[in-house]
Amino acid sequence: LCYVHSPVRYAWDEQFSYLQQAGLGFGPKGLAFRYMLHKLRTWDTRTAHGPDLMLANSSYVRSRIERIYGRDARVVHPPVAIEDLKLVASKDDYYVTAAFHAPYKRTDLIIEAFSKTPSRRLIVVGDEVQSKHLRSLAGSNIVFTGYLPRHEYIERIANA
């Protein structure tokens, strides 16, 4: 049994953007990394055919498993601790985006959209790998919180 959140992005569909972001798109280091990623894809494909059953956390990941590994997977969504979530009668006037801010998540598009609509407030939650770049795109209506403890994160989402 194998539960898959995602086939390895940097080895498969996001390889070139990861290499480019790391400054390894060209040259001897880039060539060496592409060779290592080729070996990783070979190993990944071989080991992906070992489990009798593959489970995907979403239909999107299921389609990636089918495309990359050539095998089917059943979708089993991750559990959610709903007892932590409370209904809020009155909402505040803001939106929240929360993610690991890697380029493939396209947080930049959300920030650019909100920068063009200054009447709408956006709270950006998550690690700050791309912080300098994302902050350079942000208008005054966008606030970066970085990592939030779980109770604060849930409160921000509930009130959005």
138-156: pLDDT as tens digits: 999 999 988 899 999 999 9
pLDDT score recorded for residue 69: 95
- Residue extent(s) of CATH 3.40.50.2000 domains in the chain: 83-159
For the domain made up of 83-159, give the CATH fold. Rossmann fold (3.40.50)
pLDDT score recorded for residue 80: 85
Structure-token pair, residue 38:
């080729």
User: Which stretch, 12-21, 54-63, 133-142, has highest mean pLDDT?
Assistant: 54-63
pLDDT tens-place string over residues 28-39: 887 888 888 899
**From CA 82, how far away is CA 78, in angstroms rounded?**
12
Give the SS3 label for residue 74. Answer: strand
Q: Is this model's pTM higher than 0.85 or not?
A: no
